[in-house]
Amino acid sequence: MREKLRRRERKLYNGTKFVICMSVGCGLLLIFMIGFMYFGAEKISFADLWNGLFHFDEGNFNHVVVRDMRLPRLLADIMVGVSLSVAGAVMQGNTKNPMADSGIMGISSGSIFAVVFMMIFLPDASRLERIGYSCLGAGISTMMIYLVAFIGKKGITPERMVLSGMAISTLFSSITSGIVLKEGLTSEMLKYTAGSSANAIWMDVSVSAPFFLAGFALALMISRSLTVMNLGDDVSKGLGANTAIIKLSSTLVVLVLSAIAVIIIGPVGYVGLMVPHIVRHFVGTDYRLVLPSCAVLGALFVVVVDLIARIMIAPLEFPVGILITMIGVPFFIFVSRRQRGDAFGG
Amino acid sequence: MLRGTVINIVLAGLLLIVFFFGCNVGQYRMSIGKVFETLFGGGDESSRLALFEYRLPRLCLAILVGLGMGMSGVVMQDLLHNDLASPGTLGVSAGSGLLVTVYVALLQTNNSSAILLPVLALLGGLGSAGLIFLLGTSRKKRLQPTRLIMTGVAMSSAYGAVGTFMMLLLDDSQLEFLQRWQAGELWGVRWDYIVVFAIWILLFGFMTYRGGRTLNVINVGYDIARGLGVNVGRQFIYLSLCAVALSSASVAFGGNFFFLGLIGPHIARRLVGTDARVLLPASGIVAGIIVLLADMLVQGWTFLANIPTGIVISVLSVPYFLYLLMKA
């Protein structure tokens, strides 16, 4: 009885924390969104900002900057942040691997390969086709990673997932750089691999948005089952969950969301590792609370980092992907130090 | 031991055979007879030029890179008791690479004195090995090899990010040089580089080989080694230094061959067993043969022309790595 009470208390406690986390996150996100629109290489007054958004005048250069450069980029950043962190959280729940991340695990290497392949062999492809191929690439690499980690006596362990991800991504990235070097596209490729949303246009946002929304909605739909799944396959089967369908749909979520991120910003890792970790620290392990918080904090994180990247060495830009990696690696090491010894099987 | 020695001799013979075949591969066509003739002092001017200025340096470089990476991988795997340790996975080669990248980026040059590059790479490799060791272990707990490797993988991506940033500052020709170098191209094809490299590999190879017995004991277990009177801490540092030195020089002259230091020891272990005294040379030779074969593919097959050798090695060796992972 007391145990039950305590659990109830704890649930409430997490619920309160969830509300606090969401409201603070949303508030900060709003502030930084305005900051993102306001600061930049071009000085823009608040009046221009307001008018550019709501009373658009094509002849006014500042309005064009606001509407066609900063706004799509802001939306793209938000989409990337949400996608990466939700994909990371879902992946961590699905594989019960606290270190899972679409970039670290090498899923994005397949998308990058597909994108480069298209850049060279199908240069006229539409954005929609690009997203399709990028998803396909991500799908192939994911399948290979899972397959390799799955076959074997020990089955899927976090360590084997990371190592097989590393090997598969080395394979894909070496084929990619082989093609790039053969075709002499090094500098374009480099700009792409550094990771930046600077070239995001309305087209990207509008084409990816439906997929993004569908992926996000699917993630929310399976959030309850993910929480149950985290208790272990046997328990969740006992509770009547259809593990196969949930695993399949969560893999689909990861694929679509990480492919969108790759299309918009390039290969960016570690967001999907950091944000869910921080979120779980606040709101616990209930995925119905974790996923929305991840979405807000992920968007906040990418918007803030991209803002820093834009104004740090203005008028030039620091590649945001590199900045994120520089923040993410210490975090990864910190987390892996805190892991219990058996988590890696070592 | 005897069996191992015999296999080593056979492997060395195989290396020589591949080497001779390598002399025959290239854009300028030469008959085998002519290659022999040229090798031993005869031949006309164009065949001498092709052989001594283009092919031989490249082949020697390939063998040396293989030796360095192969031996270094054995040492790291034995020291950490983990089959997945290697200069690539531990992030040591990425650290060497970063310092070379910074050097090329700051001085805006792509040719330099022969001794400076391995020294820079060594500094980078040592710094990175130290950092990974510092971050991947903690005083309270026992050494956990897997954690070290995870830390290494993460640190490599950090070095990669810094490297990419430096590369954004470069012009196109330096950029191409660095990209190729990162993908693993045998670029130090000059006799003066090769002489420095060969001396370096001989020196540190010998020093590593002297630690072979200690390596065997440590491989059994740290506690057992301690019980047998080995000063584990000191030997660990000594052997890691040798391993980092070997891999750094290979990285400096040959570029970043990610999987070589992993695959070489594995194949060699299947052939000669785990005794480090026979495993060290065998692993070096096997890795050398792999680099030679990959390089012959690049040189001889026009489809692959102009592609860095490291890419061919990765594409060939990843399936084997995956196979190992599935079996483990």
Please write the tens of the pLDDT for every residue from B1-58: 778 788 888 888 888 888 877 777 766 666 777 777 777 776 677 777 777 777 888 8
Q: Is the pLDDT of residue A163 over 70?
A: yes
Position A116 scores a pLDDT of: 82
Domain coverage including residue B29: 2-327
Query: What pLDDT, on the 0 to 100 scale, is given for residue B98?
Result: 84
Across B93-102, B145-154, B284-293, least confident range = B145-154
Q: Is the dihedral of CA B114, B120, B123, B127 positive or negative?
A: negative
| Residue located via tokens 């994180």 | A301
B47-77: burial string, b at 16+ Cβ within 10 Å, e else = beebbeeebbbbbbbbbbbbbbbbbbbbbbb
Report pLDDT for A343: 41
- pLDDT tens-digit readout, B190-228: 788 888 888 989 999 999 888 888 888 888 888 888 888
Residue to substitute from B141, B147, B156, B174, interface A, most A β-carbons within 10 A: B147
Q: Where does B31-171 have alpha helices with state H?
A: 32-39, 45-48, 56-80, 92-107, 116-136, 145-168
CATH of the domain at B175: 1.10.3470.10
Shortest CB distance from B175 goes to which of A167, A178, A186?
A: A186
Question: How many structural domains are present in chain B?
Answer: 1
Sign of CA dihedral B192, B197, B200, B203: negative
* Residue A121 tokens, joined: 């062999």
- Residue B304 gets which letter from DSSP? G
Residues 277-336 of A with CB under 8 A from B: 318-319, 321-322, 325-326, 329, 332-333, 336
pLDDT at B110 over 60: no
pLDDT in tens, A19-53: 888 888 899 999 998 888 888 777 777 777 788 77
Q: pLDDT confidence of B80, banded at 50, 70, 90?
A: confident
What is the nearest CA distance from A171 to chain B, expressed in angstroms?
6
Contact assignment for B135 to A333 by CB distance below 8 Å: yes
8 Å CB contact of A346 and B314: no
Residues 6+ apart with CB under 8 A from A16: none
Record: contact A99-B150, CB cut-off 8 A: yes
Q: Taking 80 as the threshold, does the pLDDT of residue A99 lie above it?
A: no
Measure B314 CA to nearest chain A CA, in Å: 6
**Residue A210 sits at the chain B interface (C-beta within 8 Å):** no
Using CA coordinates, name the residue in chain A closest to B161: A322
Give the number of beta-carbon pairs within 8 Å between A and B.
Answer: 135
User: What pLDDT, on the 0 to 100 scale, is given for residue A346?
Assistant: 33
Mean pLDDT of B64-78: 90
- Which one of A329, A332, A344 has the shortest CB-CB distance to B146? A344
Percent of chain B topping pLDDT 90: 6
Most B-contacting residue of A108, A144, A154, A170 (CB-CB within 10 A), to test interface:
A170
pLDDT at A5: 56
CB spacing of A190 vs B310 below 8 angstroms:
no
Residues A3-24, mean pLDDT to the nearest whole number: 71
| A104 contacts in chain B (CB < 8 Å) | 153-154, 157
What is the structure's pLDDT at A345?
36
Query: What are the sequence ranges of the domains in chain A?
Result: 2-338
What is the chain A residue with the closest CA to B320? Answer: A167
Alpha helices in B24-55 (DSSP H): 32-39, 45-48
Asked if B161 and A162 come within 8 Å (Cβ–Cβ), the reply is no
Q: Is the pLDDT of residue A9 over 70?
A: no
| A341 residue type, one letter | G
Residues of B in contact with A193 (CB under 8 A): 164
Segment 150-179 of chain A within 8 Å of chain B by CB: 151-152, 154, 159-160, 162-164, 166-168, 170-171, 174-175, 177-178
Does the beta-carbon distance from B179 to A322 stay under 8 Å? no
Which member of A162, A193, A319 has the closest CB to residue B153? Answer: A162
Query: Mean pLDDT for chain B?
Result: 81
What type of residue sits at position A252? L
Query: What is the nearest CA distance from A187 to chain B, expressed in angstroms?
Result: 7
Q: Give A146-184 as a DSSP string.
A: HHHHHSSSS---HHHHHHHHHHHHHHHHHHHHHHHHHHT
Residue B186 has pLDDT above 80, yes or no: no
Per residue in A271-295, pLDDT (tens digit) is 888 898 888 888 888 888 889 999 9
Are the CB atoms for A256 and A211 separated by under 8 Å? yes
Torsion of CA B26, B29, B33, B35, to 10 degrees: -40
Tokens 């942040």, residue? A81
Q: Choosing among A144, A329, A338, which should be mutated to test the B contact, i.e. which has the most B CBs within 10 A?
A: A329
| The overall pTM is greater than 0.80 | no
The CA distances from residue B58 to B191, B260, B305, B309, in Å, are 10, 17, 15, 11
Does A2-338 carry CATH code 3.40.190.10?
no
179-208 in chain B: CB under 8 A from chain A: 179-180, 182-183
